[in-house]
Chain A
Amino acid sequence: MRADDERDYLEFATARAGALYRSASLLSSGDPHLAEDLVQETLGRMYVHWRRVAAADNPAAYAHTVLVRVFLSHRRKRSTAEHPTGQLPEGVATEGDATLRLALLDALARLRPRDRAVLVLRYWEDRSIEETAHALRISAGAVRTQSSRALGRLRAVLGDSLPDLARS
């Protein structure tokens, strides 16, 4: 990579790594090691195709799409279960918030990876149905179906406790 391209890449990677890590943490349902691996591989893939990526309309969105695809690829290859730590970063959440967030992470961990990805794209990254469909390479109808199913499973795991927890 040329020096100026590498400089641009480093600037981009440094600016986006935190956001990618947050998405990766949700996709991994709180597994910090998996989250780091996902971000590392995503940044690596961005590096390889940097010139093409840099020319894209929205390199940041592209990076998050790559992250989700890397996650799903990992899930297909990986036979072992994830290892959510059950811990959130220290000093950033009140007791009630921590309970809520841990409950959510636990519930995410119980979802199928593709359902989790749909939820993260739709409700964390605020992507449209069409954008989510593009990221996951599925139809808009499939996104609606998976989104509905994922929410249903989340409700089944959490019961109706989420609003209660949110109010606690």
Chain B
Amino acid sequence: MPFEDHVAQTLRDTGEQFTPANLTELVTAGVADGRKRRRRRNVAVLGGSAALALIAVGGALAPSLLGGSPTRQQAQAATGGMSLTASAKPVSNAENARQLLSGLESILPKGGTVSGPHSDWGTPKTVYSNIMASALVVYKDDKGPGAVAVSLTKYAPGTYKAPTCPPVDPVHFPDDVCHQYDVEGGGTLVVDLGYEYSSRGSGTKAWTAWLFRPDGSLIELAENNAVSEKDSPVTRQDPPLTGEQLKAAALSDVWQPLLDQIKTPKVYKGGVPGLHTPAGPGTGTPGGAVPGTGTGTGTGSGASHG
């Protein structure tokens, strides 16, 4: 028998011996993965944030993390050193990319170091957005390194809808605790912290905050307790920013000058592909109102589940 026939036969004999430990759990995990991907995809489609796809979403956030005034204090302290102006004067893509990276670094907790910085500004426009801008760093403090990323996008009004939290679903999202807030001045903030593989409730954590504004702007922040998503070894207990800091970062003033650099696209004449009621399985868990960008204290008390 030729060698390759032996290989084929042995492969068949070997492969047939493998059986999943729990088929039901495996399928359930696949469903949970799919629901999460659909939710993330809806955000990407509706918000055009595909540039941030290398950082996952997720969500488990203690309710206590989302309340109280420290939000504003932390945000102000973190962004106090920024030299960005509110000018809408056009600057080069390279300069915008640099400032986006600076903005990201400014919202990181003090006392750590940053490595692997990368930023993009000016990804070829899509039907959704004239510009896709993103930045990524690996932040390291005494708790270990973790990836933190930001994405900014602006859409034609009416061509996006904010995501909602996933449904209360102890089977598919056993550890998900998601908070959704109406933001003063208009807009929606969703803070969702959990795991890359949501149904497992362990492994790489993936925490994300989305802030949508009525003018079509989207700020998306995402972080992991690993230097990248997808099976990258866990390098710290939690991602670098706490839930409170993540919320504060999304609400920070630092992004507005950069959003001002992004021209609002025209409404796509052929309709908006994929625009539909968002967030896949999400039914939402409305929380309390959150003050507008950097102008008040975070007092949201979003319902939690998980």
Interface residues of A (CB under 8 A from B): 1, 9-10, 13-14, 17-18, 21-23, 25-26, 32, 34-37, 39-48, 50, 74, 77-80, 88-89, 92-93, 97, 100-101, 104-105, 119-120, 123-124, 126, 151, 154-155, 160, 162-163, 165-166
Contact = CB atoms under 8 A, between A and B. Distances in A.
B17 A48 contact: no
B15 A43 contact: no
7 contacts: A13-B27, A17-B27, A35-B18, A50-B34, A78-B231, A88-B14, A166-B6
B10 A18 contact: no
A40 B30 contact: yes
Contact of B30 (A42, A89, A93): A42
Given A13-B27, A43-B30, A43-B31, A101 B13 contact: yes
Contacts of A25: 15, 18
B155 interface: no
Given A123-B4, A123-B7, A47 B15 contact: no
B29 to A, nearest CB: 4
Task: Name which of B18, B21, B26, B197 has the most chain A CB atoms within 10 A of its CB.
Answer: B18
Contact of A21 (B8, B26, B36, B229): B26
What bracket does the count of chain B residues touching chain A fall in? Answer: 35 or more
Contacts of B12: 123-124
Given A37-B231, A42-B30, A43-B30, 14 more contacts: A13-B27, A21-B20, A26-B15, A40-B30, A43-B29, A44-B37, A47-B30, A47-B31, A47-B37, A92-B17, A100-B10, A124-B12, A151-B3, A163-B6
B30 A78 contact: no
Contact of A43 (B3, B8, B13, B27): B27
Given A14-B23, A77-B232, A162 B31 contact: no
Contact of A89 (B4, B17, B33, B230): B17
Task: Name which of A48, A151, A163 has the most chain B CB atoms within 10 A of its CB.
Answer: A48
Interface of B: 1, 3-4, 6-21, 23-24, 26-27, 29-38, 41, 197, 228-233, 280
A26 B21 CA distance: 16
A17 B13 CA distance: 18
Contact of B6 (A34, A78, A162): A162
Across chains A and B, which 8 residue pairs bring their CB atoms closest together, nearest first?
A: A47-B34, A43-B30, A44-B33, A25-B18, A123-B8, A44-B34, A101-B14, A40-B29
Contacts of A47: 30-31, 33-35, 37-38
